[in-house]
Amino acid sequence: MTETFVGRATPNGVPLFLSRWLAHPLRMGSVVPSSATLCKHMVRCAWPEDDGVVLELGAGTGVISRAFLDAGLAAERLVTLEIDPDLADHLRGTLRGVEVLECDARKMLDYLPKRFQGRISSVVCGIPLVLLPFVEQRRFVHAMQAVAPGQGFLLFSYCITSPLPAKKLGLTAKREVWTPMNLPPASVWRYMPASADA
Ligand SMILES: C[S@@+](CC[C@H](N)C(=O)[O-])C[C@H]1O[C@@H](n2cnc3c(N)ncnc32)[C@H](O)[C@@H]1O
């Protein structure tokens, strides 16, 4: 019963997602949640080592978080973050056992409970950073580096080229995946601190 509630049978919340897009189109950046195929790619690319914790930023209706749970990640090794109160409510109601942070990702260090600090080994970002000016992109990157120093992050995007100016941000960029099986087709980009790559 619990497994069904948390995982496979949970609706992906398309009507809720659409309603939040109507309210905040730029902040949502997409009309529908990520496809099952894109979620599986994210899980494969961001699977944490040992007992590391996964942090998902901009979780929306939680399809990526649910894909991690379905792949066997223990709920206590997942932290999911969302700025929209209605979506955060949905996440709390559907991702049992998962820590849901309702906040702006730029302030995540202040909201991350102590028990997770120093344990984040994978950061998965669904926030449409490409739509933001450079100074805001830099704030998000610094916030991610503060909670997961040296780990880099994964970002999915509908762009053909890198959605972030990696070099200017002191990062390296690598496209891990491109899939047509998403609306619209999407890529998964891995960004790492440039110094860690040297
Ligand atoms: C493209 S949707 C991705 C949703 C989900 N990850 C998926 O793949 O279906 C972007 C999400 O980022 C959230 N978001 C945008 N800006 C944010 C911010 N500053 N802090 C936290 N979440 C944010 C939006 O509310 C939205 O749910």
The domain locations on the chain are: 2-197
Gap between the Cα atoms of 126 and 69, Å rounded: 17
Residues found in the chain: 198
What pTM did the predictor assign? 0.93
Rounded to the nearest angstrom, the distance between the alpha carbon of 198 and the centre of ligand 1 is: 31
Which residue from 104, 127, 177, 183 has its CB within 8 A of the most atoms of ligand 1, so it is best to mutate? Answer: 127
pLDDT in tens, the chain (198 residues): 233 333 333 457 899 999 999 999 999 999 999 999 999 999 999 999 889 999 999 999 999 999 999 999 999 999 999 999 999 999 999 999 999 999 999 999 999 999 999 999 999 999 999 999 999 999 999 999 999 999 999 999 999 899 999 999 999 999 999 999 999 999 999 999 997 554
Non-local CB neighbours of 156 within 8 Å, separated by 6+ positions: 34, 38, 42, 125, 126, 186, 187, 188, 189
Residues with a CB atom less than 6 Å from ligand 1 = 27-30, 33-34, 57-60, 63-64, 81-84, 87, 104-106, 126-128
Report the atom number in ligand 1 closest to the C-alpha of 60: 27
Q: Which amino acid residue places its CA nearest to atom 8 of ligand 1?
A: 34
Rounded to the nearest angstrom, the distance between the alpha carbon of 110 and the centre of ligand 1 is: 19
Beta bridge partners of 80: 56, 100
* Superfamily per CATH, domain 2-197: Vaccinia Virus protein VP39 (3.40.50.150)
Q: Which amino acid residue places its CA nearest to atom 27 of ligand 1?
A: 60
Which residue from 14, 22, 27, 187 has its CB within 8 A of the most atoms of ligand 1, so it is best to mutate? Answer: 27
Q: Which amino acid residue places its CA nearest to atom 3 of ligand 1?
A: 126
Inter-CA distances, 139 with 3, 95, 105, 132, 172, Å = 37, 28, 9, 10, 17
pLDDT tens digits, one per residue of 94-113:
999 999 999 999 999 999 99
Report the atom number in ligand 1 closest to the C-alpha of 105: 20
Gap between the Cα atoms of 54 and 65, Å rounded: 9
Rounded to the nearest angstrom, the distance between the alpha carbon of 42 and the centre of ligand 1 is: 15
